[in-house]
Structure 1
Amino acid sequence: MSDRATSDRTGSAARMLAPLALAQFICSYAGSNMNVMINDISRDLGTSVQGVQVAITTFLLVMAALMIPGSKLTDRFGRRRLFLVGLAVYGVGALTASIAPNLAVLMIGYSMLQGIGTALLIPPVYILTTLRYDDVRERARAFGVISALGGLGAAAGPLIGGLITFAIDWRAAFVFQALVVAVILLLARQVVDPLPADPSRSFDLGGAVLSAIGLIALVMGILALDDELWLSIVLLVGGAAMLAWFLFRSARVERAGREPLVSPTLFRNRTSNTGLLTQVLQWMLLMGVSFTVAAYLQVVRGYDAIETGIIFTAATLGLLVSSLAAGRLVRRFAQRTLIIVGFLLTSAGIAGLIWIVAALPGAWAFAPGLLGIGLGLGLMLTPSVNIVQSAFTEERQGEISGVSRAFSNLGSSLGTAVAGTILVAGLVDPSRSYALAIAVLGVLGLVGALLALRLPKADTERAGPSAG
């Protein structure tokens, strides 16, 4: 290939990266910006902290439940087409949420439509990026941009949402999302699908239903822990049984020569499996900390949306710095090393949210801990994604992209559900429940560091045709 052709291909890939990364930003932003609006939404819509928590968790859960089906539909209808449809659905959901008169309509627009739109548009982001960047280092840098904007959206969500809520109204924060979607649609003219759609591809509807029910039951079981123990047990056991049935059925469908929603062979890759688990823990930490700290600041300490958002600037700054450095660091250090160090930094930051906050009364006592969490998460988000995506060939990118995003969004919903349930259940003794929720997240950070030790010490190129 000539130098000019190489330059044209690189420039085209770079232009395509902008709308893809911006789409990841706005979807991640939607998951965390609601955290600083808890008091405003509760007061305006006549609901409670728990009602807002359910709306946030449902949004994240809809994404997790539909991400794998969404990824399979990319093969059938095309990655670019599904990306555009997802953006349109997301935009309609944002506008619906902006005019919501009650919690039910808010959940239709935010939790359902925006969740569905995200599940349709996010898999194409990762599939198209993988297909356009052949070199593992170039792909790592591209994923670095996408992951950085994704993490930045989640970390900056409280700050941006707080500024908009303070200056205008919480409803304007949803209008802001619709405007960003309009910009992405304009930029999406640069998005090119390198593979043709295959309308003849089958779709495993039964598998989609089983996986969705299983994931929803698990998270709802966690949410029910604080007031309905027996219901919680039934949901948790039922959800686990549904997912086991889903895997058993998928193996049977594949043996019969048909295409399941997810091939069980996808989970025979140890490196990918470990990478997926690190993604779950990373997003549990990010969303769990975001919800817990934001709720505590507003409900217990009485801070408004802008004050809460400003406090989260430390996490945003840390994540931005380490994400921007990740592209250079991945050239000098193994991805495994970055993930381990990232988990340790995050755990240290979480410890700061307990000990420094307990020792100092001011709001800025939260800053050192949030800064450490931002630095740690920004350092490891990109390597985890790249490890998983690069473990499989082009033919399996649709499958692994959906699974990867489903695991990440499952982690987000679990983080909000677990930490939020501990916090909400103990608001009668807020300091103790806050410390307990944060401590649980800190333990998960240490588990992540131990888990990352299972990853290969040296980075490798994308696996060959036999991968998985």
Structure 2
Amino acid sequence: MTRSMSNKPSRLPWITAAASFGFLVTQLDVTIVNVALDAIGDAFDAPTAQLQWVVDAYVLALAAMLLSAGAIGDRVGPKRAFLAGLVLFGLASAACGFATGPLSLILARVAQGAAGALLIPPSLALIAHAAHGDDRRRVAAVGWWTAAGGVSIAAGPVLGGLLVETLGWRWVFFVNLPLCAIGAVLALLVAPATPAKPRVPFDLPGQALAVAAVTLLVGGLIEGGHRGWGGAPLAALAAGLVLAAVFVAFERHAKHPAMPLTVFRSRPAWSAVVVGSALNFTYYGLIFVLGLYMLRTLHWSPGKAGLAFLPLTATFIVSNLASGSLVGRFGARTITSGGVLVAACGYALTARLGAESGVLDMLPGFALIPGGMGLAIPALTSGLLASVDRHDAGAASGVLNACRQVGGAAGVAIFGALAGAGIATGLRASAILATAMLVAAAGVLLAPGRRGGA
């Protein structure tokens, strides 16, 4: 295979497939561990607070490193960054599987999240370059990419439950090894060498400020849910807000910023960040609480709990793949706002669940939530890529996905705190909060006087 052939538009489906494996493994590991928490807790005699860190350590590291990952991908080339991310993700997953206690598992999850960050912006950049400015092909490719992530995040509990009951909890991490290998082989065979940005200085102070701010903010939220909202958690939140303000001020004057603020002056990019953060906040948080609800309130086995999440997977597939063609017909703004409102209806229905609920009670919400998200997220992502220069695709997607992951980590922390007073009560409160947040997000999109895409 020659490089010239690799650059032809006909290679886009294969490049999309390779890129999708990167998004697939990172999203799979957000939720696959949820139905394994009881088994991990029993194996290590770990309290609930440590189990929440097993989930959040991954999401926190993923969020904190995404800005850096976008910049690294732009500077060394998306293909090299993507391959390095797959190798490191596989090694970190093996470390998770061989963990000997909660601390070693949490540290390995941090490494796994940091490696996962190297997969998301470069994978989108590979697609953006391969589409050669063809909006229709790019929208379709992004639809498949988001479908891979949406399906994997929904299928995580299903696969996790089956693995826990058959091979043991360690296999929820070992399963990543063949997935990373397939993605790496595909990328080596079909992805062309993509343009890098050599000689551009790396914004190390900006990256450090971003990582510190995200870590303090999300860490403060997590610990506040367990220890109360005073003392160390409050100090962490305050310090995180100060560092976030310093980061923004620094980036405005940086010659080569990690987060190019000018990119996000366009309506599609700004709304993508706001709405994407709200979608992840609500979904990641509720999936965490639902896992506890099924295991500890309904007393289901991990396998049964995993299978209960199966409708999420099917609806994600249909809505993700439909999103691209619907955006082409009705516009990104219409499809995004419609998808957000559909998801809000799903959360409202989920608020009805109680201590005696069954699978049939869950089905309506479990169909509408991923149905709406699957419509909205491809429109957000494609709108963002269309609004920035191709050479800024890695940095822009890094910012979008960093904000989304921060939203997801915050959702786990806050919804987990709501469940602390009682899982069934916390689930209801979480679903009501999720509904309100998404209605507000749709209101931002539909406000009079707004123009542009998503």
Listed as ranges, the matches of 1:208-219 within 5 Å are 208-219=207-218
Q: How many angstroms apart in 1 are the aligned matches of 2:74 and 2:215?
A: 25
- State the match for 1:371 in structure 2: 367
- State the match for 1:123 in structure 2: 121
2:439 pairs with 1:446? yes
Aligned length in residues: 447
What one-letter code is carried by the residue in structure 1 that aligns with 2:233? S
Contact 1:312 1:367 in 2 (8 A): no
Q: CA deviation at 1:359?
A: 9.7
Of the three residues 266, 277, 286, the one matched with 1:280 is 277
Q: In 2 relative to 1, CA 204–334 (structure 1 residues): closer, same or farther, beyond 3 Å?
A: same
Q: How many angstroms apart in 1 are the aligned matches of 2:277 and 2:125?
A: 19
- State the match for 1:271 in structure 2: 268
What one-letter code is carried by the residue in structure 1 that aligns with 2:323? A
- State the match for 1:463 in structure 2: none
Q: How many angstroms apart in 1 are the aligned matches of 2:192 and 2:9?
A: 15
Q: How many angstroms apart in 2 are the aligned matches of 1:88 and 1:7?
A: 22
Question: Residue 259 of structure 1 aligns to a residue in which SS?
Answer: coil
Contact 2:341 2:442 in 1 (8 A): yes
Residue by residue over 1:294-341, the C-alpha shift from the partner in whole angstroms, topping out at 9 and shown as x without a partner, is 111112221121111111111112111211222322222211111111
Listed as ranges, the matches of 1:325-340 within 5 Å are 325-340=322-337
Contact 1:283 1:415 in 2 (8 A): yes
Q: CA deviation at 1:203?
A: 0.5
Question: Residue 198 of structure 2 aligns to a residue in which SS?
Answer: coil
Q: How many angstroms apart in 1 are the aligned matches of 2:253 and 2:320?
A: 42
Of the three residues 384, 401, 410, the one matched with 1:388 is 384
Q: CA deviation at 1:457?
A: 5.9
Q: In 2 relative to 1, CA 8–405 (structure 1 residues): closer, same or farther, beyond 3 Å?
A: closer
Listed as ranges, the matches of 1:307-456 within 5 Å are 307-355=304-352, 357-358=353-354, 361-423=357-419, 425-427=420-422, 430-454=423-447
Residue by residue over 1:135-170, the C-alpha shift from the partner in whole angstroms, topping out at 9 and shown as x without a partner, is 212111110000111111111100011111111111
Q: How many angstroms apart in 1 are the aligned matches of 2:411 and 2:286?
A: 8
Listed as ranges, the matches of 1:9-88 within 5 Å are 9-88=8-87
Q: How many angstroms apart in 2 are the aligned matches of 1:6 and 1:187?
A: 15
Residue by residue over 1:211-263, the C-alpha shift from the partner in whole angstroms, topping out at 9 and shown as x without a partner, is 1111111111211223232122222221111010011112233xxxx312223
Q: CA deviation at 1:438?
A: 1.7
Question: Residue 370 of structure 1 aligns to a residue in which SS?
Answer: helix
Q: How many angstroms apart in 1 are the aligned matches of 2:166 and 2:382?
A: 39
- State the match for 2:111 in structure 1: 113
Q: How many angstroms apart in 2 are the aligned matches of 1:35 and 1:298?
A: 10
What one-letter code is carried by the residue in structure 2 that aligns with 1:207? G
Q: How many angstroms apart in 1 are the aligned matches of 2:75 and 2:64?
A: 19
Structure 1 range deviating more: 198-207 or 88-97: 198-207
Q: In 2 relative to 1, CA 193–405 (structure 1 residues): closer, same or farther, beyond 3 Å?
A: farther
Q: How many angstroms apart in 2 are the aligned matches of 1:66 and 1:6?
A: 33
Q: How many angstroms apart in 1 are the aligned matches of 2:246 and 2:7?
A: 48
Q: How many angstroms apart in 1 are the aligned matches of 2:29 and 2:190?
A: 23
Q: In 2 relative to 1, CA 197–10 (structure 1 residues): closer, same or farther, beyond 3 Å?
A: closer
- State the match for 1:199 in structure 2: 198
Ranges in structure 1 where 5+ consecutive residues have no aligned partner: 461-468
Q: How many angstroms apart in 2 are the aligned matches of 1:98 and 1:162?
A: 16
Contact 2:127 2:142 in 1 (8 A): yes
What one-letter code is carried by the residue in structure 1 that aligns with 2:114? I
- State the match for 1:304 in structure 2: 301
Q: How many angstroms apart in 2 are the aligned matches of 1:394 and 1:325?
A: 25
Q: How many angstroms apart in 2 are the aligned matches of 1:420 and 1:459?
A: 34
Contact 2:251 2:261 in 1 (8 A): yes
Length-normalised TM-score, structure 1: 0.91
Length-normalised TM-score, structure 2: 0.94
- State the match for 2:143 in structure 1: 144
Question: Residue 119 of structure 2 aligns to a residue in which SS?
Answer: helix
Aligned-residue CA RMSD (Å): 2.0
